[in-house]
Amino acid sequence: MTDYAGNLDRAFEQMPDYLTTDVRFSVPGVDVIIEGKTTVLRNFLEITDTINRDPTHLLKYLLRELGTAGKFDGTRVIFQGKFTTETIQSQIQAYVDEFVICSECGRPDTTLVRSDRVLMLKCDACGAHRPIRKRKVREVQAKEPIEEGGVYDVKITGVGRKGDGFTQIDKYTIYVPKTIKGEIVSIKIKSISGTLAFAELLERKSE
């Protein structure tokens, strides 16, 4: 019995320091709003905390893949240009697949290490190692920043003469009834005429 207890203690000592308690690992959904000519990812640090990665490393990856410039703003990140929620979410998922998830056991209990100048992904759960592939920069296809029927989270930047709030996305001025300056709201584009757009209010996010 003494030998068994001693062996059990030694086994626990050799276990990795950090293992997730739930194999159903999921990345938080991105919280994105468009402010003028920029896109703001409001829960950036929540995402990096969840995936246990250096925020600077993830930001450099996103800037390269999106082909844009950006910067930290407290817990947020601001990108130059307008990007959809789906685009940013898919790029973060691609980062997780390459730099976080073990290809052998599928767990996120990994660390990034360098071996002979090669960046390696080391799994603390199963002990597997694999090199990080060099990725080609994805070409971002140009598309209209808004479309009829599209749903967007925006910040109201002013109020027009008729009392409707408005915001600016690229060349478009979007009017949203029943809103006030400073509100962050979810809207649905009803119609577009030239550089003017008219939307309905779906939800108030914050002020």
Which tens digits make up the pLDDT trace of 125-183?
A: 888 888 887 555 454 445 678 889 989 999 999 998 889 999 998 889 999 999 999 99
Which structure tokens are listed for 178? 């029943």
Query: pLDDT by residue (tens digit) across 4-48?
Result: 555 555 554 554 444 444 446 788 999 999 998 899 999 999 999
Q: Give the 3-state DSSP-derived string for 161-179, with helices as H, strands as E and coil as C.
A: CCCCEEEEECCEEEEECCC
The pLDDT assigned to 61 comes to 94
What the chain holds in terms of domains, given with CATH numbers, is: 2-131 (3.30.30.170), 151-206 (2.40.50.140)
Between CA 111 and CA 120 the distance in angstroms is 8
Residue 53 CB burial class (10 angstroms; 0-12, 13-18, ≥19): buried
The pLDDT assigned to 182 comes to 92
Between CA 5 and CA 158 the distance in angstroms is 70
Between CA 142 and CA 186 the distance in angstroms is 23
Instruction: Please compute the mean of the pLDDT values over residues 94-111 and round it to a whole number.
Output: 91
Enumerate the β-bridge partners of residue 76.
73
pTM beyond 0.75: no
